[in-house]
Structure 1
Amino acid sequence: MNQALPRAEAHTDSRDVESEILALALREPELGQAAVAERLRLAGLQISASGVRYIWQKHGLETAVKRLQALAEQASEGVEVLTESQRRLLERGELSARLARGETANDAGGKEAASDSGGEPLERRQLILNAAAELFSEQGYDRSSIRDIARKVGLLPGSVYHYFPSKDELYLAVHREGFQRVLARVRAAAETGSDPWDRLRLACEVHVSGIVEGSPVDRITGHSLSFTGNQELLAKIQPYRESYEEVFRELIKALPVAAGTDRSLLRLFLLGGMNWIYLWYREGRRSPKDIADAMVDMVRRGVEPGG
């Protein structure tokens, strides 16, 4: 069925708008339709968010996963052209699509990965972890049941118990995996820094990116899931948090700062500021990288003029 391009300003060449939308789809595939429309407006090209979606649909690019696929297919290096977070997003999208069709990795022609506990496929386990992280985050540990989590994934409760023998074990698994993932990424990023401030900046970029762009499990480091009065359970989680905070403790210890600076307070101030981002972040205004860089710069240089 033929559709007219949604209204644009009369002086704007619709071909220029379309070509720029397609270019942005490959340059910044994770941008939403509203963010793309705003980006074009700032460049003097007028089109609505629904107009952006129309162009995406016309070219089969209506989801971030499809745009990432197009970017990987166009590049000579394939998926290696994608960032680590983009590859994870692409993998999750493709996995969800296969599971929705009732397929497994073997059905798709690949070798199905095995879990740490006896060869069970990892796909369903990962979906359970993501669903649990979302529910624990949204409504707290005490109000989230295994039945709720199973329903969110489209499984029977018994299937969840097959992977996790209790809600406590599931809660711990979410935290353990979340902190292990981000810990590895933060360490790897910091090691590439050229000096102590650059290492801290790179670590903060990974932290903020995980909070606003990662999977529900990835976001655990910033969005506290500890909404439970179970002190024994919280005590089991604390070592994961301590291991993660130790990385930032070492990074801040290495900074050249003014005499008398309370480095412990500096660490808590910076981590606390980053962890609140999930509450106010809106896609399209500033990228996670821009936010992290600005926060580190304000900590380093202050905000008083002429300082």
Structure 2
Amino acid sequence: MNQHTAQGMEDAPDAESAILEFARTEPTLGQAAVAERLRARGIRISPSGVRYIWQRHDLETAVKRLQALADRVPEALTPEQQRLLERGQLSARLASGVVADESEAGNSAGGAAEGDTPSRHALILHVAAERFAAQGYDRTSIRDIARSVGLLPGSVYHHFPAKEDLYLAIHREGFQRVMERVRQAAAEGSDPWDSLRRACEVHVSAMVEGSPVDRITGHSLAMIGDHELYDKITDNRRAYELVFRDIIGGLPLAPDVDRTLLRLTLLGAMNWVAVWYREGKRSPQQIADMMVNMMRGGVEG
């Protein structure tokens, strides 16, 4: 601690308890705001002095202060504070590489700009998908997304020139993620039917339980009303459908079964789950297994 900060602490023996009280009651206040409020109370301390106290108690970021509050009294967080905490936790996980799918978003969704961290690129995708899912495409602005991420709108435009580019990047990323997981699941199957079952479990689970990026992509598989958007993601959809074409191509079927129609029927049924699914009765995995079993009973040779 520098001399100025130390002097401030000497003049305010109760500063530490006051700072910790602000951490509990107003955890999103910055160090300058806390120092200013303390000065209004007659407690002299600099912003760096506030930060020094926070660091001593491992509270130097708003996310840490929110987490400490949530650990003590979970219901004390407002909805906005809860969202801020969740975004902060996600950002930390992205930066540390814990969430592999998210941290690789810059590679499969157009790439982060040179000199920028992939985690920021991925975080924008994640939060934008949240906002599009909650408010709809037309009612969501770049300003809304930037505010939710904690950036200026210009920083979002640095990664995505327009809202449509961001929306399409979410779809490309969603298709890439689920396609990789479907391929991996199918490769682990013990036989062709087991490979199909595993692939379908991944597909349905991603649509109803996955990240916001996964769910936006899944909903658009079933409910694309914008033909211009459909045209722009056709290549992604086709590449994904080819994965199921290859899996179904390996099934032992009766000679008169149309494999193309079988594939389209199965994908159509699974895609519609995003529309009618309600949590509680059957799990996504159970739904996928039942679909495959019903289909197998009708077409197995």
Q: TM-score under structure 2 normalisation?
A: 0.59
| Structure-2 change in CA distance of 1:230 and 1:157 (3 Å) | farther
Matched, 1:300 2:284: no
Shift of 1:137: 4.2
* 1:242-270 residue CA offsets vs partner (Å, 9 max, x unmatched): 10000011111221222222222211111
Shift of 1:227: 5.1
Q: Kindly name which structure, 1 or 2, has the bigger radius of gyration based on alpha carbons.
A: 2
SS at match of 1:165: coil
Matched, 1:253 2:253: no
Whole-Å separation in 2 of the counterparts to 1:227 and 1:274: 15
Which structure features the higher share of helix residues?
Answer: 2
Shift of 1:128: 1.8
Provide the alpha-carbon RMSD of the alignment.
Answer: 3.5
* 1:100-150 residue CA offsets vs partner (Å, 9 max, x unmatched): 8x99948xxxxxx79543231233322321232234445554443222322
Alignment of 1:37-76 (within 5 A): none
Question: 8 Å contact 1:190–1:202 — kept in the other structure?
Answer: yes
Q: Which residue of 1 aligns with 2:207?
A: 211
| Structure-2 change in CA distance of 1:230 and 1:279 (3 Å) | closer
Whole-Å separation in 2 of the counterparts to 1:211 and 1:103: 22
Matched, 1:96 2:87: yes
SS at match of 1:224: helix
Q: 2:277 aligns with which of 268, 281, 298?
A: 281
| Structure-2 change in CA distance of 1:293 and 1:165 (3 Å) | same
Q: Which is bigger in relative contact order (C-alpha 8 A, separation at least 6)?
A: 1
Whole-Å separation in 2 of the counterparts to 1:140 and 1:275: 19
Whole-Å separation in 1 of the counterparts to 2:150 and 2:203: 31
Alignment of 1:1-307 (within 5 A): 96-98=87-89, 105=95, 115=106, 116=111, 117-137=113-133, 140-224=136-220, 229=226, 231=228, 233-302=229-298
Shift of 1:199: 0.8
SS at match of 1:256: coil
Whole-Å separation in 2 of the counterparts to 1:210 and 1:150: 26
Shift of 1:281: 2.2
Q: Which runs of 5+ in 2 are unaligned?
A: 1-70, 76-83, 97-102
Q: Which runs of 5+ in 1 are unaligned?
A: 1-58, 64-92, 107-112
Question: 8 Å contact 2:87–2:149 — kept in the other structure?
Answer: no
Whole-Å separation in 2 of the counterparts to 1:227 and 1:289: 25
Shift of 1:275: 1.2
Identity %: 60
Whole-Å separation in 1 of the counterparts to 2:94 and 2:248: 44
Question: 8 Å contact 2:170–2:217 — kept in the other structure?
Answer: no
User: Which 4+ residue blocks in structure 1 deviate beyond 3 angstroms?
Assistant: 97-100, 102-106, 113-116, 134-144, 151-155, 225-230
